Structure 1
């Protein structure tokens, strides 16, 4: 990470070591670990060592992120609270904590605890003043036109997606489902953005980034995981450019003055405007103002006064008739 230039990354997705060894993780009678990782990568001698490691890689992430970039980090109760505190100490601004509720979690074999059926993702901006990207409308559209919530219900990685070694065993114990990375990148990045995964594993982030036409950087030290990632990337084809369009948010709507629509004839002076229920009406003036009785002003000001509200988005409040139906004037500023 120290070899990369500062402010060069739009988004980081990190799936760091879970710190299982320090949590007295329960084991089966045959000494195999119940629900985690049992390798040298996850062996820290104490919490101070784990915290130092965490602070180092998060510091580098913050250096690499652009001012308006965001970071996603996933973990379990073993490590996510320590990570959250450290990233706040470093100046990151937490936007959401997402609960990944697993539809098929691994059972608790010894019956000494609740079945651990979820993991937590923290989504954070580089700083409090970051103008971070959130493709709100795309998330809403993909969720049957309902706001996307912060609890995500999806299965753990399985079936043909789960990579296995020559013995038929899981190649990587915590391989994440591609569906999760698809949602993460679709929500917080744009085509041609650069995505970094500092714990790349078998390359799930890179595979999804390539498919969605994002640039990617993956860092991984395990040779078998690197080999598997290269094989997956070789099979991955980017989506066609025409398929990359996402639903724009209102925040991204072009800034067009209402008066310019009147000037161009897109909405003729004298046109009657109504609210959606036809409770109130106003007349469009030649200067782009609207009038309702004694009230005259912008579409926003008049709409607010008619509702006795502090503010009003006139683009969505006012409608005009088209072929016998009411249509919001907002459609007139779309390409």
Structure 2
């Protein structure tokens, strides 16, 4: 298949079947947010498997996806603490683990269990294939505030690069989850903030590189790639979510058309049934995630 057949596409199909569309060694970054197996309703039963079936399925898609990575490629995976130990072991048998990143969702201290501590974070694993993996720290440095710079005004700090360009993000990322009234929020229960996804894309995918997301959800990975000047490819099972992705990408294309440099075209392979406006669905309390999580 030629590049034109899969680059900048989101396919409304099972990733295990669709990965055959992508040549081996063609992807710079795998960035994905698979089901957490917590029983959420994503229009299918992907989040309601037995533990054994869930871990077996996870190993299956990992083994199908990793050959698509370039030798210097990387992988980020969102997980729940309930299964991250087992899945990290699977990945450590195949890759080198660089970080366990904790995403503090800034959940208000209200309610929760009375028999354990409240869970307010997601776990993110950062893995690489070999030592010369691509990583652009300068692209994601966090600027120092004016007060800090002023305090470092002694001569030994003059001209120090780190003081001018900022510091290395730590492995604890405190970024608020997307509340229902948030302007970035789409109709998806476990949508990830663009701030987090863009940081991963900028750091671990070179400009004009390709990001693969096996569980596109609301399409946040595709939007982040588009905004950061990268290409994307991904899969999503739920046709309603595929329609959401198409709408979000269309808005991005409108913004790009008004900008000096237009972004490359994008498409979502949406079944005809999904193109009809979906009836409003009753929201259930958000606990966590499923077959499409970004």
What TM-score, normalized to structure 2? 0.68
Q: Among residues 92, 101, 104, which one is paired with 1:101 in the alignment?
A: 104
TM-fit CA distance, 1:162: 1.6
Residue aligning to 2:245:
229
Q: For 1:3-61, what per-residue CA distance to the aligned partner results, in whole angstroms no more than 9, with x for missing partners?
A: 3110010001110110224xxxxxxxxxxxxxx557522111x2221111111111122
Partner SS for 1:161 = coil
Task: Name the CA distance, whole Å, in 2 between partners of 1:97 and 1:143.
Answer: 24
**Contact 1:108–1:116 at 8 Å: present in 2 too?**
no
- Contact 2:37–2:46 (8 Å) recurs in 1: no
Contact map agreement 1:105 1:116 (CA 8 A) in 2: no
**How does 1:76-87 map onto structure 2 within 5 Å?**
76-87=80-91
Which of residues 149, 154, 177 is equivalent to 2:170?
149
Distance in 1 of aligned mates of 2:108 and 2:128: 30
Q: Find the structure with the greater CA-based Rg.
A: 1
Number of the residue aligned with 1:8: 26
Q: Please say if residues 67 and 130 of structure 1, whose CA atoms lie closer than 8 Å, have aligned partners that are also in contact.
A: no
Runs (5+) with no aligned partner, structure 2: 1-18, 146-165, 262-294
How far residue 204 of structure 1 moved from its aligned partner, in angstroms, is 0.3
Q: Which runs of 5+ in 1 are unaligned?
A: 22-35, 164-170, 242-335
Partner residue of 1:162 out of 179, 182, 185 = 185
Residue in structure 2 matched with residue 54 of structure 1 by the alignment: 58
Instruction: Say whether residues 1:125 and 2:128 are aligned partners.
Output: yes
Q: Over residues 47-87 of structure 1, what are the superposed CA-to-partner deviations in whole Å (9 max), with x where a residue is unaligned?
A: 22111111111112211000000000011112222211111
Higher relative contact order (CA 8 A, sep 6+): 2
Correspondences of 1:298-309 after superposition (within 5 Å): none
Q: Note closer, same or farther for the CA distance 1:103–1:88 as it changes in structure 2 (3 Å cut).
A: same
- Residues in 2 aligned to 1:8 and 1:120: alpha-carbon distance in whole angstroms: 27
- Spell out the pairing of 1:184-263 with structure 2 (5 A cutoff): 184-236=200-252, 237-238=255-256
Task: Find the aligned partners of 2:206 and 2:57 in 1 and give their Cα distance.
Answer: 30
Structure 1 residues 106, 216: closer, same or farther in 2, change over 3 A? farther
| Number of equivalent positions | 217
Runs of 4+ in 1 over 3 A off after TM superposition: 36-39, 105-110, 141-144, 237-241
> Offset of 1:240 from its aligned partner?
5.6
